[in-house]
Chain A
């Protein structure tokens, strides 16, 4: 199956004239279209409006009017499935299989706690806070093959994903960030370039408060003792040994942020200077009180 594409291309180049009149082009600045007057092609006629009647005299009935029948928009009742869709929070899915692939290919470091920032920094998935995206939803696809021990912080997780991570001795928490904090997390370089203080994360809104205080969903505002009980209960349900976080080797891995804190080791209210590679910490008592947790 020999193709003749290269031969044809070579023939074309051989026969093509190098300089020709049809190859000429006018100079850019001198080349202008003539302005066309807006009018009908035949002068002083109906201008595309037809002959007589409502169309010509601009007395057409309103849009949706069906000549006396009950119009469609009144005949069919409302369907309010999408009410308030522009205000709803969106959590784009991110599966355990994708996370395992990232760990295999050295894209995330499992010796440190993983959070939204370290996942977004791989440039494989993107979160756009402007489109009402409030972080990632860790789905249970690939829960059976998941094998690594991680300390991860996500924004939404189902029961099966929680079980898959705790089966391997890992830790998972669900955490809420508002849009302002998410913009700082998803684009750290752009945020530090603005030279504004690191924001203080507010508590979740009323409709999300129940989820983030629930020990069964490993909410970051839940009571730690209830979370411990819930971990034991889930281990009984799925049939594995409950994880133990008190070992000395993993004391650095299983760290938690403050509920008001966005980044590890950096408090809200501090200002980062990328040029001087320094952090500015204001000492004004009013300022410190404002950013306290």
Chain B
């Protein structure tokens, strides 16, 4: 079981990054259907340079989330993203057996 105190925790990492003056977005798995590699509640944090920490799928879906993150950081508007069987990247990451995930992506702001 992960300890909150270490840096092995995306939410702690997000705070450390903010303290360093970096702009940060937070992605969270909010729903899964079928077999999904990461459980609901999993976090990924992304900064405006595209650095990231954590995981929402364990693979290629991260790339798409990171791309969207720069826009969310710029606009401050949250987004709900869905990846499913019809999605090519999701297919490759192993969500092919009927799996779908929904990810919320939001900026950490003042």
**Genuine A/B complex:** no
A contacts, CB < 8 Å to B:
none
